[in-house]
Structure 1
Amino acid sequence: MAKQFPELDTTQRKFIGEQHIFFVGTAAPDGRVNISPKGMDSLRVLGPNRIVWMNLTGSGNETAGHLLETNRMTLMWCSFTTRPLILRTYGTAHTLHVGDNGWDELADMFPDHRSARQIYDLKIDLVQTSCGYAVPFLEYQSDRDTMQKWVDGKSDDDIRAYWVEKNHQTIDGKPTRPAD
């Protein structure tokens, strides 16, 4: 049975810290809903009602485009180990780009990554847990090094050119304003 909370408690924050993957869900008022898996060392819980995560270069940039139109965001974690649990945080998110007020302070919380496009700052207004009884057991082996190898083979100009080519609009054709 799902349970709802106004904020993250200590146990839920610990659970988030133990997970190697999370999922982000966003949607514009019209068009497609996006659900995207995220990993690496890219998320920080800053309090019972605040999470920030650094978004790295990817093949799309749906979250950025959606947040230009509506600031709703859901983050979700699933336990793939012994304790069955699904945890979701619902709220509103603000996008920061390099050079924006607050970028440097938040970026300092993460490992340096040349392909960081945005930082999303989520203000949580609802936390929900559910059972996760049907989620399979999966064993974590390691993070992939594919992203880092891709970045290592590119100059900063190459990365920005990729953003222009691949990340300037959503799959619905809406603008995203990737980092400049």
Structure 2
Amino acid sequence: MGKFSDSILPPHSDFIDEQKMFFVGTAPLSADGHVNLSPKGLDSFRVLSPNRIAYMDIVGSGNETSAHVRENGRITFMFCAFEGAPNILRLYGDGYTVLPGDPEWESLSAHFELQLATRQIVVATIHKVQTSCGFGVPLYHYTGERDHAAKWAEKKGVAGLEAYKAEKNMISMDGLPTSLKKN
């Protein structure tokens, strides 16, 4: 049985800091909409306070997280121990996206090493934290980050990235608008 708390406690924050990847889960309100589950890495997650987190999100082939949190706010984060003692930690919250130029951008972006492909920062207020055993999570050895996103972004350039976002990141696969703004 999992253990619950109403905030991110110091041991939770320490565990999060040790992980090299996490997963983000969101879903639209529509019963026939698609649940989105995305793996994230690149040292992109920050605990800002016991009930507030942020992660730097880079350009991808879709923008489901932004569309879902824009529609209903619901967001879940999961961290798994792939090395060391078994553990799974989930953060349940209400999220929103912050874009370059938004009032919060400067203060939030200071927490990250921004990349050319940085698209937005996703922020969430956490209302429930759950830990569970993680006995079924296999052991993996971390060997490093992939450089594919950075090389792809460099090849596209600023104008190419903006065009790509306009083509691929404005509407979710279920037809929901994202938080990105048209130029």
Deviation at 1:53, TM superposition (A): 0.6
2:105 maps to 1:113? no
* 8 Å CA contact 2:54, 2:124 repeated in 1: yes
**Structure 2 matches for 1:145-164, cutoff 5 A?**
145-164=147-166
Match of 2:46 among 44, 56, 63: 44
Structure 2 SS opposite 1:164: helix
What is the alpha-carbon distance in structure 2 between the residues aligned to residue 167 and residue 8 of structure 1? 31
CA deviations 1:50-96 (Å, max 9, x no partner) are: 11111110111000111121001101000011210000000111211
Q: CA deviation digits over 1:5-25, x for unaligned, max 9?
A: 011111110000000000001
1:167 Cα deviation after fit: 1.1
Q: Which runs of 5+ in 1 are unaligned?
A: none
Structure 2 distance, partners of 1:158, 1:8, is 39
Q: 2:8 & 2:68 partners in 1: Cα distance?
A: 25
SS of the aligned residue for 1:154 comes to: helix
Query: Compared with structure 1, are the counterparts of its residues 177 and 124 closer, same or farther at alpha carbon in structure 2 (3 Å cutoff)?
Result: closer
**Contact 2:87–2:133 (8 Å) recurs in 1:** yes
Aligned twin of 1:54 = 56
Where do residues 77-116 of structure 1 align in structure 2 (5 Å cutoff)? 77-116=79-118
Q: How many residues align?
A: 180
Percent identity between the two aligned chains: 45
User: What's the CA shift for 1:118?
Assistant: 1.3
Classify the secondary structure of the residue corresponding to 1:136: coil
Give the letter aligned to residue 89 of structure 1: L
Contact 2:98 2:120 survives alignment (8 Å)? yes
Q: TM-score, normalising length from structure 1? A: 0.96
- DSSP 3-state at the match of 2:119: strand
- RMSD of the TM alignment (CA)? 1.1
- What is the rounded CA distance, in whole Å, between the counterparts of 1:106 and 1:177 in structure 2? 17
Q: Distance in 2 between matches of 1:82 and 1:110?
A: 26
Structure 2 length-normalised TM:
0.95
Instruction: Give the whole-Å Cα distance in 1 for the aligned partners of 2:105 and 2:163.
Output: 22
